[in-house]
Amino acid sequence: MREFLIVLAYTFSENIRKKTFIVSIIITLILTVAMMIIPGLITNSPGSGTPDDNDQKNHSTVIQNFYVVDTIDMLKNDTGFLSKTFTDYNFKMKTSSDVISLIDRIKADENTFLLVLGEREGKPTFEYYFMSYEAGPDFNILEQKLKDKYASNILDSAGVDASIAAKVTSIPDVSLNELGKGQLKSRISSMLIMFILIIAIYYFGYGVAMSVASEKTSRVMETLITSTRPSRIIMGKTVAMGLLGLSQMVLIFLVAVITYKLFFPKNFRIFGQSIDFAAFSPLVIVMIMLYFVLGYFLYAMLYAVAGASVSKSEDINTSIMPISMLSILAFYIAYVPAIMPNSGNITTVTSIIPFTSPFSMPGRLLMSNVSSLELTASITLLIATIVLFSWVSIKIYSAAILNYGNRLKLSDFIEMTKSKH
């Protein structure tokens, strides 16, 4: 245990002082802060905001002309209800004979709009002319207002009391109170966590492989293994790099939480989906960290073997390729069902299979409720696989670190698992 801790402390202190590590953590923190600040800047910039106040704020400096040609006398020459909603637009009534000249005017000035109200086969028609859709009022709201006016006219002509007509056309006050985990709302944060996990596992796993390979290629390994057992070297080294990764993740997480609280705008949406971090309960955070540690450990032991199998550091990328491919494949097997709606039980299966569970289960925990049985099965299987692979990895590592010359083949690795070390 003492030797394991000495290897751990040395590896940790040597790597935390490396320029590459310091630079990477600074860049990651800058990106994290930027991710939290930029949505706020976008939201507060002119032309942005929530849909409801967009039309109030838009084009505040330019009064735009909005012409209305009412062939069915739907508005009865009254555009007041439109002016009240869209305050930045100057609504003017025109006749059918003006349509062509108005269209020409729109072509010359993108801040001019035309709406032609008509009727076809007993149904109202709204023809909307514009140069730039974005420059005009929100058409969904405009359409709703016109529909209400049309319905109100019909009810009025049918002799329905105005108060009843108002009730019919009133917009219900909808309040959504989801009691389960918001799968849609948590999707983006879940995707984000999965990406962070694969990048962290790859980055620190690669670090383990590089560290082992450099000890071998610099020939310091021969001195090292006369000082302590290979198992203590690989374990100490792997845990040290994992701790380094965990420290980095905790630091990034803390910075993310602080900047989120300070700068991140409420109701911010990406492609219409809001980003919700409410699913990050303390338990979920602990579980994400646990899956990072376990997932990292599973892959890092394999990366250590890949590092021990090379004699020249330039061969490292070739040797880690199978492990990288395995981790990327496992990531996609976990990721694709997680982002696909109605993926059924696939996510349940991927969250239990050891190689995919480190990516899949954190996403599931954020998006849905996971039974304690599934969680226990997933963690137990993952730990059992880690123990098995660690045992095999230690065997191979112990034999491979003294092997110089030809690149090791699969048959060599199998032979090495029989060694007594």
* 55 near other proteins, judged by CB under 8 A: no
Please identify, using beta-carbon distances, which residue of 101 and 227 lies nearer to other proteins: 227
Distance CA 185, CA 54 (A): 22
Q: Which listed residue (29, 160, 225, 290) binds other proteins by CB under 8 A?
A: 225
Beta bridge partners of 113: 66
* 215 near other proteins, judged by CB under 8 A: yes
* 313 near other proteins, judged by CB under 8 A: no
Please identify, using beta-carbon distances, which residue of 8 and 323 lies nearer to other proteins: 8
Distance CA 123, CA 222 (A): 88
Q: With CB under 8 A, what is the number of residues at the site for other proteins?
A: 23
Span of 2-10, 106-114, 140-148, 279-287 interacting with other proteins by CB under 8 A: 2-10
The CA-CA-CA angle for residues 142, 147, 148, to 5°, reads 100
Strands 64-70 and 89-94: parallel
Please identify, using beta-carbon distances, which residue of 10 and 195 lies nearer to other proteins: 10
* 14 near other proteins, judged by CB under 8 A: yes
* 213 near other proteins, judged by CB under 8 A: no
Q: Which listed residue (227, 267, 376, 417) binds other proteins by CB under 8 A?
A: 227
* 421 near other proteins, judged by CB under 8 A: yes
CB neighbourhood size of 112 (10 A)? 20
* 222 near other proteins, judged by CB under 8 A: yes
Question: Three-state DSSP class for 56?
Answer: helix
Q: Which residues contact 336 (CB under 8 A, 6 or more apart)?
A: none
Distance CA 258, CA 281 (A): 16
Please identify, using beta-carbon distances, which residue of 345 and 411 lies nearer to other proteins: 411
Full DSSP string of 24-44: HHHHHHHHHHHHHHHHHHHHH
* 420 near other proteins, judged by CB under 8 A: yes
Full DSSP string of 346-357: HHHHHTTSTTTH
- Could you give the angle at which helices 282-308 and 372-400 cross, rounded to 10 degrees? 20
Please identify, using beta-carbon distances, which residue of 229 and 269 lies nearer to other proteins: 229
* 229 near other proteins, judged by CB under 8 A: yes
Site for other proteins in 16-35 (CB under 8 A): 18
| DSSP type of residue 282 | H
Q: Which listed residue (168, 336, 402, 414) binds other proteins by CB under 8 A?
A: 402
Binding site for other proteins (CB under 8 A): 3, 6-7, 10, 14, 18, 215, 218-229, 402, 419-421
